[in-house]
Structure formats: C-alpha cells, structure tokens
Amino acid sequence: MLLRTPAGNILWDLIPFLDREAVDRMNEFGGFKAIVISHPHYYSTCADWCLTFKCPVYVGVPDRKWLERIDTPGLDIRFLEDTYTEILTGSSVTAVLVDKHFPGSLLMHWKPESVLFIADTIFTAPLALNPVPGKEGVISFTFWYSVPNRIPLHPDDVLAIWQKVKGLEFQTMFGAFEGQDVRMRGNERESGTGGLKGRLLESCKIFAKAEGWREHEIFSESL
C-alpha cells in the first residue's frame, strides 16, 4: 500500500513480483522514500525493491535473521528496535514494533488519516465487517502465532499488542488481504462500541476467554 505524505511516499509491505509495469506505475506516483515491511512473509524480494527505487527498507530488528542478501552493495536495510519510530521526519507515519506473531512484527500508524495498518499481526475476523457492529460476544479481530494453522497467541502477547496501540487514535484498520479492511461505521458511537479501538479491546478479551482464561490482566484493560 502506497502512502503519500508531505515528507514523501512510503510503501507499506510489498508483493514479491517486481516487473517493469510495477516500476513504471510506482514512478508515476514519484516512487517512494521508504519501504516498511510488517514481517518476514513479505521479505522475499525486498532487496530488489530497495535497489530499484533506491530507498531504505525498515524492518523489526528481531527478524533480522530472516533477511537474505543483506550484504548486497547498495542495499539499505534499517533495523527498528524502538517501540515507536517515525518513518521520514514530518510524515506523521509511525512504525510500531509489537514483537508478536513474529518477534519483530510491525504495525504502522498514519496519524493524519487516523489509520492503523495491521498486516496479519492483528487478524481481521469476518464479523468485523458486520453492518451492525458491536454485538455482545462478537469478535472483530483475532491474534495468531500461525494464521493457517490457527495457533493462537498467548493472552500475554495479546495484551502486549493492545498496550502498544491503545494510545493511538484510528478509525480505519487495513489488514493483509482483500476483504480485511475495517472502517468505523457511523452507527458505532450510538451503539457504544468505542469505535474500532473499543472493538479491538473487546476482541482481545473474547479471544482470551476462548482460550480458556478467566483471570488475566487483559480483562482489566479499558479505553
């Protein structure tokens, strides 16, 4: 996904295939000054993208071992180790190192647009798109160590993710795949969901209960 900011364009995650058509299309938008990759499932051709567009690639430092070709001349890989890092000064785009799903998993927050990019570190559930959101006991987001194998994250990990995003404001969440983008609906305030952040917190609690937990710090969290 291409973010167009006053400080320059930023690419969030990327597809592996890079051909002339893709290069020309991106250059029509002015290329980009930074690439931010959420986790190793998108690392495969990042060196090619970096060298083609001559811009740095930002990844979480705990996932360094998954990178290939890091000694390639001209390659500019920047490892993030702080919880919050502004990508390009003045862009108001912040990478958030949540270190769950993968140890170096990143989310990204675009403050002026009130958007949180979640990849599949926070995984959108189909019911998140319910036209009447906020029904009791209905989960909007899930949290997996392995998505295809449905191996869940421990509630401690879910809590850690929540605590790193609870201070951010967002009305849209962009997921990893088609059909996983969630926007706050106009009827959410009157239905008392607390918006997307409220639904995210409620999902954390529902998910922990589904794992069999009845006592955990996550249940004491509030907006």
Would strands 141-142 and 2-5 be described as parallel, antiparallel, or unpaired?
unpaired
- CA dist 198 to 5, 162, 166, 171, 189, Å? 28, 11, 9, 11, 10
Alpha-helix residue ranges (DSSP H) falling in the chain:
20-28, 46-53, 155-165, 188-191, 195-210
CA 70-75-77 angle, 5° bins: 70
Q: Say how far apart CA 154 and CA 143 lie, in whole Å.
A: 9
Residue 107 pLDDT more than 80? yes
Assign 4 a pLDDT band (cuts: 50, 70, 90).
very high
CB of 216 within 8 A of CB of 153? no
Instruction: Please give the pLDDT value at position 134.
Output: 72
Average pLDDT over residues 110-132: 94
Angle between helices 20-28 and 46-53 (to 10 degrees): 50
Residue 50 pLDDT more than 90? yes
In this predicted model, what pLDDT tens digit does every residue of 184-223 receive, in sequence order? Answer: 988 777 777 888 999 999 999 999 999 999 999 999 999 8
CA 22-49-65 angle, 5° bins: 145
What are the tokens at 186? Answer: 């106009």
29 by Cβ neighbours in 10 Å (0-12 / 13-18 / 19+) ranks as: exposed
Instruction: Please give the pLDDT value at position 135.
Output: 78
CA 91-114-146 angle, 5° bins: 95
In this predicted model, what pLDDT tens digit does every residue of 122-181 receive, in sequence order? Answer: 999 999 998 877 778 899 999 999 999 999 999 999 999 999 999 999 999 999 998 999
Furthest CA-CA distance within the chain: 56
Residue type, 15: I
| 170 vs 101, residue with greater confidence | 170
Q: What is the CA radius of gyration of the chain?
A: 18
Q: Let me know if domain 1-113 sits in CATH 3.40.50.11030.
A: no
Beta bridge partners of 9: 4
Residue 85 pLDDT more than 90? yes
208 by Cβ neighbours in 10 Å (0-12 / 13-18 / 19+) ranks as: buried
Average pLDDT over residues 73-83: 96
Q: Give span(s): CATH 3.60.15.10, the chain.
A: 1-113
Average pLDDT over residues 97-111: 94
Instruction: Please give the pLDDT value at position 97.
Output: 98
H helix count then E strand count, the chain: 5, 15
Instruction: Please give the pLDDT value at position 57.
Output: 97
Instruction: Please give the pLDDT value at position 78.
Output: 97
- Residue whose structure tokens are 């051709």: 45
| 186 vs 25, residue with greater confidence | 25
Instruction: Please give the pLDDT value at position 100.
Output: 84
Whole-model pTM over 0.85: yes
